[in-house]
Every structure is written in structure tokens, then in C-alpha cells.
Chain A
């Protein structure tokens, strides 16, 4: 009887949680749909879970991607920016199906992706780097021999590091937070992905002073603005906005605001980047 009652209670809880989740999702979806065709509003895909780049806390959005997106939207004459979550593996489909107009979500420009979407930008050049314990002796990928490395299952970073350090002892988790946790406890030696993302973790209160970014990038990730394939007019407009953003100093300010607290030094040789031609 007791088990049955506990079971019923648990079931109710799960139902309630499920309904609550639906409710918030629906809210977001409705907002997006109502503003869809209007000229004043724009739907922008960002990451919701990456501190320093795109982070959703309550109803506020922070991060470098968010700042650039807001600036570009303003330049495009849009007064109402609606942010939509754009997880890595859904980005192409979100654009292709028109669920978002632009994507600012650590979206590296690659030839494979260009077959499905077009890119404006790049607006930032990041590099794959390592996040290690503050007292670690690891200086770069060549020190990784015999070390335990962590990244996210099926990510570009995981694929890169397998090529860079063949036979690396690599743990893959479904989120970077799990990797950061394991590295901070000393169970793994390093976490690898884009330096921008790593800087966000190094700056989080619980890891401050415990983790550091090595600062020896071994790849080039060119963050572009994803948009509908073949929409060169929109691409030109976005590029114009990005150029203006660099010229009037707003770009520098966004970098300083978002990466400054993490002590992350932006590579001035490659940044701010030259824009690609729209095609």
C-alpha cells in the first residue's frame, strides 16, 4: 500500500514536471511563431548553455554571441530579437525549416555545412585549446601522451584531437560540464574544445583558481553567422553590420565584457577577422 502511494506521488510529480516543461516550451514556441513574418522582429538561434558565449539565465541572455547578435539585429532594423535555443546538431535544420533567421552559436564555417546553409562573417576566430588544473604542467597537445583527455561525444573537438594526438586516451561525455567537473577533481587531466568555451568554464565561480586555459590553440574555428542557403542579400547586410561593429568599437567592447573576466587573451593576429565574401 505504501509503495503504491509513493508510486502515485512520484507519478504525479513526474507528470507535473513534464507539464511544466511543456508549458515553458510552448511559451517560447508561441512567441517565436507570432513574430515570424513581421519585419520588426527576428529570430536568432544561440546556445543557451555556454557561459561567455550564449547563456540563458531566467529571461536574460548573456555572452559574446548574444552581444553580436543584438548589434547585428539592431543594424538590420529589427527592434524585437527573439532568442531560440540552437543545439549544435540542430543548427542546419533550424535554418532550413525557417525556425530561426540567423544563428550565432559557436558555428564554425566548414565546407560540409556550406552545403546546407550560407554563412556571413566570420565574426570571431577561436581555436581549439586545453583546459587543465591550475597546477598542471601540460603546455600543449604534445604533452598529452599518456594523459587522460575529455571532450563531448561526437563533437568537432573530439574528432580534431583524435587526429592531432593519435591514440589519445579520450573520455567523452554528453556535456562539457561533466568534463570540467572531472578535470577539476583531478580524475582527468585536460578538457579540450574551443578556447572561448573553455574560458567560460575557467571563469565560473566554482572553478575559479582551480582551472586554467593553456593558451596554445591548435586549430582554427571561424565562427560564422548561419543563414538560409543562398540568401546573399541578408548575408551582405549582416557583413555590413559586422564591419560597422568592429569599426565603432562595439566589437572590442563585447570581447572585453565577455572574455575579459575569464582572463582570456584574444589572438590579435587573427581577430577581428576578415569577412568572407557572400555566396
Chain B
């Protein structure tokens, strides 16, 4: 076990995985909420764009999206997210584009989770709010979304856990996170392969289990009693 820690930057890789997950989760929540609002809005164009976003992104493999960010966004369109002259420009660009890619991809799932939350709010609530004279955005802000988000906690927990595990796909564009570490360790220290598997699996369990348990109990406590 010690050999692995001495030869490879295990903690660095774990920390990068956590950073990737945290930043892209925030991004996914923001984009996902906006898309969810678009999907329930009264404007047909918004609904169409929202539905198109979800259906296109959700059905595109994540590897393809991440490769696309580097080959098309960075190489072909020249959109640099890091200082081009810095000696670590490639690594920085990789991490930042990975966060963008992960956020955009999981936003589609966040959107659907929130929309499922919205569906748990009885239509009578929205109708009652409208008859009180609240507009669409007031209705959403004060009546529908607060209840919808509570109902969406459980599906959002699944999305969060999937996101944490999906950060491993970033190894395909060279982000030095846990999957890249595992790849190196398996290549260079084939004699320690079971240990490497156990270490990586243990890390992911350690991160995802408490999140799963915590969010499930939170969803129970926050559930709207009807």
C-alpha cells in the first residue's frame, strides 16, 4: 500500500476528483435549473429549446462530449480557459474543460430530476397561485420550485453519485484524476493490481456512500407532507 502512495500522487488524484465533482455539480445545478424552468415555461420556444438540450446532451456519450471540448472548442475554435503561455496550460485547460463538459452533460439529468420534482407538486397548487394573481415567475419562485426542489432531492442524489463516478471519464482527455492514477498504477505496477483496484473502489465508496445516505435522509426530512 505504501509503495503506491510513494510512487504515485494518490492524494493529488483523489483531491482532483473531488474538485472536478464539486465544481461540475455546481455548474450542472445552475444550468439544469435554468433548463428545467425553460421546459415548464409557457413559451413554446423555450420548451422546445429545453427539450432539445436534454434529449441531445443526455443521449450523447460523455467521452464524446469531453473529447469534443478539447478537439473542437480548444483546438479548432481556440477557446482557451487557461493562460496559453503558462507551462501548465495543457493540464489547466484539461481540468477546466472537463468541468465544463461534466457540468453541461449532467445538467440534462439535473433538469429531469427537477422536472420530476415539479411533477410532484399537485396542479391545484399552481392553479391556486395563479388565481391569487401570481405571474409565472412568482408562481415558480414562491409556490412551485420550493416544493419541487424538496421532492427532487432523492433523484438529485442519484445524479450526484453518477456525476462523481463519471469524473473518471476525464482521464480520456488527460486530467490527472483517480482513473488516470489507476491507469498509471496498473501499467507501471502490475504486481499491485488488486491493491490498486481496492484502493480506487474504496475511495469512491467512501465519497459516494455518505452522500447517498445523507441525501436520502435529507429527502425524507424535507419531504412535503401532504
Taking beta carbons and an 8 Å cutoff, which residues of A are in contact with B?
3, 7, 10, 88-89, 91-93, 112-113, 115-116, 146, 148, 153-156, 158-159, 167, 169-174, 178, 181-182, 185, 187
Contacts and interface: CB of A to CB of B under 8 A. Distances in A.
B188 A112 contact: yes
28 contacts: A3-B51, A7-B55, A89-B186, A112-B189, A112-B190, A112-B191, A113-B190, A113-B191, A115-B190, A116-B191, A153-B180, A153-B184, A154-B182, A154-B185, A154-B187, A158-B184, A159-B188, A167-B87, A169-B90, A170-B90, A170-B174, A171-B94, A172-B171, A172-B173, A172-B176, A172-B180, A173-B172, A178-B71
Interface string B182-211: 111111111101000000000000000000
B171 A153 contact: yes
A150 to B, nearest CB: 9
A93 B193 CA distance: 9
B89 interface: yes
B40 to A, nearest CB: 17
B217 interface: no
A185 B75 contact: yes
Contacts of A146: 87
A92 B188 CA distance: 12
A159 B187 CA distance: 10
B131 interface: no
A236 B183 CA distance: 32
Interface in B71-102: 71, 75, 87-91, 94
B41 interface: no
Given A156-B187, A169-B90, A185-B75, 18 more contacts: A89-B187, A89-B190, A91-B190, A93-B193, A112-B189, A112-B190, A113-B190, A113-B191, A115-B191, A116-B191, A148-B89, A153-B174, A154-B184, A154-B186, A170-B174, A171-B174, A173-B173, A182-B71
